[in-house]
Structure 1
Amino acid sequence: MRDLLVLSIFGLGCLYAFKRPYIGALLMLWISYMNPHRLVSWGISYSMPLYAIAFVVTLVAYLASSDKQKYPWNSLTILMIVFLLWGGICTMFALEPQWATKELSRFFKIQLGVILLLLIMRSEHKLKLMVLTITLSTAFYGIKGGIFAIATGGNFRVWGPPDSFIEGNNELALALLMTIPLLFFLFTDTKNKWLKRAYLGFIGLCLISVIASYSRGAFLALIVTSFFLWTKTKYKLPIAFLGIVLVLSAIPFIPEHWYSRMNTIETYEEDGSAMGRFNAWGLAFNIAKDRVTAGGYGHWGPRTFAMYAPNPTDIHDAHSIYFEVMGELGFPGLFIFLTLLLLCWRLNKTNIRLSKDTPELEWCTTLARMLQVSQIAYMSGGAFLGLAYWNMPYHLIVITILLNLHIKEQQEKQTNE
């Protein structure tokens, strides 16, 4: 039944996409974030290349449409292409060519989608639909997980969709932390009181899911993200009060073994997982120092640990976006990656400055601020997770660029009038 429902929605979306390409783009985002076909335990949709089909349909529809936009060449779009090209060069000299080629192909598909989104989603309506689709598709697992955690007393971990970037409890927690600021934007952008209540409820359930993930890195990132969210909003007193009430209300219901796991943060020297991460980070530094192209995508196996790790027998994944890029794409790749994050932050700062004194663009100011909070969640939580090539950070860059284009277009209209 679920298989038929997913295929029906997908087929209908493809049909509408031929008339309105942006619907195809939204379909791509829905497949990317919600992974609805992974909710089907059996059926033909589970293994179907739905994203690839949606991409082809959207591309054909865009090429056939009369509404074509120029590609927005700027420092961010150029640098994303450079980052992909550098990944291709590193793949040519990769220590594990099979894994590197597979991961490069995956990242290449994400970047093709980025290009298509930049060409299609060029209006306020489309941009807001893009934010809505990404946010609710990801929040679905926070809502589902929050209800599950309440029903089971928080005694079990919350997990993401299988065979996806955010399948693991740690990865899902980071995704939800990045989603919460976007939910807050949706809350401020609607005037419907029932939708406002729904968004507040979604935020609460997502927070419960983050805690119920038992992710120590996400717990630290939650503290950092909460502080930045508080500084970026005009509802400082209500949010502070709500936060205190939620924390005090939750304390009696949190299981003892949750506290035991969080307490291992203070005794990381005795924790095998933490020390394994340090070992992988040491490998990343050593291989980047030895090879300008480092090891290439996905090399984290016995061979490279034997060659470069301080402890050759303690094999772990990178568990950090920074050391992941350093170990796979070397210091040049890390420089490009950090520059992308910096330029995205600065462009959102520009978006805030350009829009904050214009009442019609107040939503742009709020969205830019929440994008910064979401980026803080990624940068802090990503210090302990290997999600350097996941699609959300690059889609946040897309939203940032599109927001900047919209603000400038509106200002030009006002000037001409």
Structure 2
Amino acid sequence: MRDIFLICILLGALPLALRHTYAAVLLWTWVSIMNPHKMAFGFAYSFPFAAIAAGAAMVSMVFTKDRVKLPSHPAVTTLIIFVLWMCLTTAMGFDPDGSFEQLKKILKIQLMTLVAMAALQNRKHIELFIWVNALSIGFYGLKGGLFTIQTGGNGTVWGPAGGFIEGNNELAVALIIAIPLLNYLRAVATRPWIRLGLLVLMVFSAIAALGTQSRGALLAISAMGLVLWLRSDKKFVSGIAVALLAAALVAFMPASWNQRMNTINNYEEDGSAMGRINAWRFTFNIANEKLFGGGFEIYTPDLFAQFAPNPTDLHVAHSIYFSVLGEHGYIGLFLFLLIWWFAFRTAGQIRKEARDRIETQWLFHLAGMCQVSLVGYAVGGAFLSLAYFDLPYNILVVLVVAQRWLRDKRWETDHDGAFGSSVPVERMVKNDTMNPVRQ
């Protein structure tokens, strides 16, 4: 039944996807982030949903009458250079043939990232894209939150089979990245039942993140909570509310959860933590030895025997920073960090440019929540191998496209003055009750 249902969704969406590239991007995003076919039990499990969605995007780019244009942005340029550098490091790596399989997977993701930047043009496109990303992860937040409550926190929440977020740690960081996006959608929603539903989904996602038993998730959600508090206009009230909610969630979790979290302070006594540190030193040694890094296939006994301090303790890097360092060298790491620096800076620029007009207040809030998501990714990703995960790059898409929309509007203002004659933000009602102007 699930197989037929998913095929019906695909067949129903394909005509629209073939006419409009943005619709094909939404279909691809749903399939690649949520992996709904991995919850089926028949032919749909291995059906090429993602390939069909990507193919529809390529066809629609040729025949669509919609505007499709890649923005001129330093983050876009850096991303393209990073992808080209990965191609070079694959060819120059220890195992080019083995690394090529991972490279093909990453090239597909980054190609669709660029297609999304070219296809998404207006507020409707941007917000549909956010809905698809947030709810694709929020589904597992709701499911995992219910499971955590049902088991009293004694079970471990896992992600969907296959893909980047199959593991408990990876799912935890994905949930943490998605929570600020859900909060943005809640803030701009005009219907009370939607706002309430999104708030409930945020709470269940936070419960599910704790239920993954991930120590990195605890650090990431703490960092995200701090940034959310700093973004709040009512710091005292919001601080009390967050503290009470955090205390209630932690009190709900069993003693075994608290014991696992306490190992953060005593990492020297934890074999898993020391294995990660050994892997980090391993990637550091490879980068010192090879300008191009070792390629994707570096976590092998032979290479650990050559570069790791403890050659018998074989682990993957479990860090977005050290995995990129070992696989693509210092130049690759610099390009990777530069992408996210541009993303965070773009969000700051949007907030500065959008805060003074009621028509662009939605962008002010969106950019702020994107920054919170990026903080969650930066902290949680320090302990996970999620350097090539779609969701953070989709946030980059949102920021690049949003800035283009904002600056296009300001260009129109220079010609007709319409945008500049709007009501100043000082006269608008409180954000929680306003009905934003839709563009």
Write the distance in 2 (CA, Å) between the matches of 1:152 and 1:64: 52
SS, match of residue 66 in structure 1: coil
- Cα offset, 1:201, TM superposition: 0.2
Structure 2 match to 1:111: 110
- Cα offset, 1:21, TM superposition: 2.6
- Cα offset, 1:249, TM superposition: 2.7
**Cα RMSD, aligned residues only:** 1.2
* Worse overlay, 235-244 or 85-94: 235-244
Matches of residues 255-404 of structure 1 in structure 2 within 5 Å? 255-404=254-403
* Worse overlay, 9-18 or 349-358: 9-18
Write the distance in 2 (CA, Å) between the matches of 1:202 and 1:241: 21
SS, match of residue 89 in structure 2: helix
- Cα offset, 1:416, TM superposition: 1.9
Structure 1 match to 2:9: 9
* Contact in 1 for aligned 2:323/2:387 (Cα 8 Å): yes
Judged with a 3 Å threshold, the aligned counterparts in structure 2 of structure 1 residues 274 and 58 are, in CA distance, closer, same or farther, namely same
* Contact in 1 for aligned 2:184/2:365 (Cα 8 Å): yes
Write the distance in 2 (CA, Å) between the matches of 1:239 and 1:14: 44
* Contact in 1 for aligned 2:94/2:297 (Cα 8 Å): no
* Residue 219 of structure 2 corresponds to residue 206 of structure 1: no
* Contact in 2 for aligned 1:39/1:161 (Cα 8 Å): yes
Structure 1 match to 2:231: 232
- 1:153-179 superposed Cα distances (whole Å, 9 cap, x missing partner): 111010111011000000000000000
SS, match of residue 214 in structure 1: coil
Structure 2 match to 1:160: 159
- 1:182-201 superposed Cα distances (whole Å, 9 cap, x missing partner): 01100101011001100110
SS, match of residue 273 in structure 1: helix
* Contact in 2 for aligned 1:355/1:361 (Cα 8 Å): yes
Structure 1 match to 2:425: none
| TM-score when normalising by structure 1 | 0.97
- Residue 30 of structure 1 aligns to which amino acid in structure 2? W
- 1:114-153 superposed Cα distances (whole Å, 9 cap, x missing partner): 1211111111100110011101111110111001111111
TM superposition outliers: structure 1 runs of 4+ over 4 Å = none
- 1:85-109 superposed Cα distances (whole Å, 9 cap, x missing partner): 1001111111122331011111100
Write the distance in 2 (CA, Å) between the matches of 1:231 and 1:244: 14
- Cα offset, 1:378, TM superposition: 0.5
* Contact in 1 for aligned 2:304/2:311 (Cα 8 Å): yes
Write the distance in 1 (CA, Å) between the matches of 2:389 and 2:248: 34
- Residue 264 of structure 1 aligns to which amino acid in structure 2? T
* Contact in 1 for aligned 2:69/2:119 (Cα 8 Å): no
- Cα offset, 1:395, TM superposition: 1.3
SS, match of residue 325 in structure 2: helix
- Residue 312 of structure 1 aligns to which amino acid in structure 2? P
- Residue 345 of structure 1 aligns to which amino acid in structure 2? F
Write the distance in 2 (CA, Å) between the matches of 1:412 and 1:269: 57
- 1:232-282 superposed Cα distances (whole Å, 9 cap, x missing partner): 233534532332232233344211100111111111111110000010001
- Residue 412 of structure 1 aligns to which amino acid in structure 2? W
* Contact in 1 for aligned 2:67/2:121 (Cα 8 Å): no
* Worse overlay, 369-378 or 97-106: 97-106
Write the distance in 2 (CA, Å) between the matches of 1:390 and 1:331: 20
Write the distance in 1 (CA, Å) between the matches of 2:405 and 2:341: 21
Structure 2 match to 1:37: 37
Give the % identical residues. Answer: 38
SS, match of residue 182 in structure 1: helix
- 1:287-314 superposed Cα distances (whole Å, 9 cap, x missing partner): 0000001110132111210110001100
Write the distance in 2 (CA, Å) between the matches of 1:3 and 1:238: 47
Judged with a 3 Å threshold, the aligned counterparts in structure 2 of structure 1 residues 297 and 235 are, in CA distance, closer, same or farther, namely farther
Judged with a 3 Å threshold, the aligned counterparts in structure 2 of structure 1 residues 326 and 251 are, in CA distance, closer, same or farther, namely closer
Structure 2 match to 1:27: 27
| TM-score when normalising by structure 2 | 0.93
- 1:187-224 superposed Cα distances (whole Å, 9 cap, x missing partner): 10101100110011001000001111110011011111
* Worse overlay, 59-68 or 78-87: 59-68
* Structure 1 residue ranges without an equivalent (≥5): none
Write the distance in 1 (CA, Å) between the matches of 2:292 and 2:142: 41
